[in-house]
Amino acid sequence: MSIAAALSTEAKSGPVGGPSQAPPARKARLGAYLLLLPGMTYLFVFFVLPIFALLATSLYVRVPGAELGVYEPAFRWQNYLESLGSYYPELFRSFGYALIATVAALLIGYPMAYVIAVRSRGKPLLQGLLLVLVIAPFFTSFILRTIAWKQILADESWVVASMKFLGILPPDGRLTATAFAVVCGLTYNFLPFMVLPIYANLERMDTRLVEAGGDLYANGPTTFARVTLPLSMPGIVAGTLLTFIPASGDYVNSSLLGNNATTMVGQAIDRRFLVTLDYPTAASLSAILMVIILALVLVYVRKAGTEELL
């Protein structure tokens, strides 16, 4: 056998006297799949299967003559039409409150993130302290934070007294059990979700680009509008999504800070599931809420020009 033929045979069958080995790329892919397996299993069991169960429940029909809460599988698509017809005010109100709270959180959170990421750069102690102040609310219960706002906006609080003294509120005016209180609670509770993505984006921003704007004779506001703000758009989009999505389905703030006229769709779903035991209506409302949020997110992200976030 010639030397060339021997080398060809060895290349096909592997090293002489040794076992055939898999290519390194195949091993790397197999390792990646094994690493993904626990997470994918978790998502399948606790996300995909519940979604399918929710969609199936939304089509159930009540068993005639049975006790409350007894339903049987069916394909009753009218559940969706009846849910929309009965609870469309709650849907509009939920998205309206969530939109106002998201805009308010952006107006409050962007300056906070800018100060932490840009103005405190090079001062690690100050930067760390400001970050702790932003994250500190997470150390207490969501419900306790909302109850605290109920005390802050109470009729006998200094906030209400000061607003009445300044003529902002009429003498018989109040802030609790109003839409204003609900929006305040939503804004406060979800403010960190707005600040942290914007901070992370500004922290990674190349400061040489800002310096280049100054070298080109742009003043501070112009440099911010033409350089800093466009570069921080991915953080703004991420922050608004992280704020708007949970705020749309929230029911704690509207339950503790609102009244019967400020009911959100989360409260309606909660009552249908746990009080009236109307599982098909609650499930169909949940499905409608998810579909609307998904559609709004897709449109918003594409309009914002950051499709890579999807």
Q: What is the pLDDT of residue 17?
A: 47
Q: Own/partner pairs for 77-82, CB < 8 Å, 24+ apart?
A: 79/280, 79/281, 79/283, 79/284, 80/284, 80/287, 80/288, 82/281, 82/284
pLDDT tens track, the chain, 310 positions: 444 455 455 445 555 444 455 567 777 788 778 888 999 999 999 999 999 999 999 999 988 777 777 888 888 899 999 999 999 999 999 999 999 999 999 999 999 999 999 888 888 898 889 999 999 888 888 999 999 999 999 988 898 899 988 888 888 888 989 999 999 999 999 999 999 999 999 998 887 887 787 777 678 788 888 888 988 999 999 999 999 999 999 989 999 999 989 999 999 999 999 888 899 999 999 999 999 999 999 998 888 766 555 4
Angle at 286 between CA 285 and CA 289, to 5 degrees: 85
Catalogue the E-assigned strands of 14-86.
61-62, 71-72
The whole-model pTM stands at 0.84
Looking only at Cα atoms, what is the longest distance across the chain? 107
Catalogue the E-assigned strands of 68-185.
71-72
C-alpha distance from residue 194 to each of 12, 86, 134, 288 (Å):
57, 33, 10, 25
Query: Phi and psi for 19 in degrees, rounded to 5?
Result: -70, 155
Closest alpha carbon to 146 in 263, 274, 275, 258: 258
Count of CB atoms within 10 A of residue 98's CB?
24
Sole residue written with tokens 């952006």: 106
Assigned CATH for 86-309? 1.10.3720.10
Considering only CA atoms, give the Rg of the chain. Answer: 28
Token digits of residue 261: 């006229």
C-alpha distance from residue 219 to each of 211, 226, 229 (Å):
11, 11, 14
Q: What is the pLDDT of residue 211?
A: 78
Are 209 and 227 a contacting pair, CB within 8 Å? yes
**C-alpha distance across the termini of the chain, in Å:** 59
C-alpha distance from residue 248 to each of 49, 90, 172, 231 (Å):
23, 10, 31, 27
CA dihedral 214, 215, 217, 220 (to 10 degrees): 0
Cα atoms in the 13 Å half-sphere on the side-chain side of 249: 17
Q: What is the pLDDT of residue 7?
A: 45
